[in-house]
Amino acid sequence: MEIEKAIEIVLQENKNVLAKVEKKTLEKFIKAILSAKRIFLAGEGRSGFIAKAFAMRLMQLGFNVYVAGETITPGIQKGDLLVACSGSGETEVTFHMAEVSRMYGAKVIALTANINSVLVNVSDLVVGIPAPYRGKFKVCPGSKQCGGSLFEQALFLVLEVIVFVLMRRLKKSPHELQRLHTKLE
């Protein structure tokens, strides 16, 4: 396959998925971020990497944000928000973090492709990302890409859209975000 064709396929698949994401749900997600005392991000594997990228952008926007599972992460409590990312919605660690967050009175928002998952059952809001995800020992149809790549790409793009909208609403410039970019690299 030629590179141009591969680019076309990846872009078109993502465009198709993003067109199906509920815009009203994204507005509720933004409101939850703006009203949270602190924001915690959770996810495993590639979804976890994307969650960390979102945490970095939220920090650069001035939010009090943590990555769940890190040794310096404080205890979650009432008034906090957990954003849980899982294509399958069945990832045990992510589900457990959502359960514990609810137990301590925090709100939980799930970003998942599987709206019938255990993660959805313990979430206050679900951002459905209708993309194939890699289930246990099987590859899901609906994408020419491997594994859960389409879900992960769409997850990243959805979260970047949230950052872009927050940036505009908070009247933050790219320069202001850059000021909070790490200097220790």
DSSP secondary structure string, 9-53? HHHHHHHHHHHHS-HHHHHHHHHHHHH-SSEEEEE-HHHHHHHHH
Residue 183 lies in a domain: no
Better pLDDT: 6 or 138: 6
Q: Residue 31: pLDDT above 80?
A: yes
pLDDT tens per residue, range 122-162? 999 999 999 987 664 344 557 777 778 999 999 999 999 99
pLDDT at 143: 78
pLDDT at position 136: 44
CA distances (Å), 38 to each of 31, 68, 83, 92, in order? 13, 12, 11, 23
Compute the distance between CA of residue 112 and CA of residue 133 in angstroms, rounded to an integer.
Answer: 9
29 in a domain, yes or no?
yes
Reference 32, options 95, 85, 105, 81; nearest CA is: 81
Spatial distance between the Cα atoms of 54 and 65, rounded to a whole number of angstroms = 10
Residue 3 lies in a domain: no
Decide if 94 is inside a domain: yes
What local confidence, expressed as pLDDT, does residue 140 receive?
52
- Active site members: 152
Give the domain extent around 38: 13-177
User: Which tokens in the block code for residue 161?
Assistant: 């859209």
The reply to whether 2 falls in a domain is no
Give the global pTM: 0.92
In a domain, residue 185? The reply is: no
Q: Is the pLDDT of residue 82 over 50?
A: yes
Number of folded domains that form the chain: 1
Q: Is 6 inside a domain boundary?
A: no
CATH of the domain at 53: 3.40.50.10490
Answer yes or no: is 120 within a domain. Answer: yes
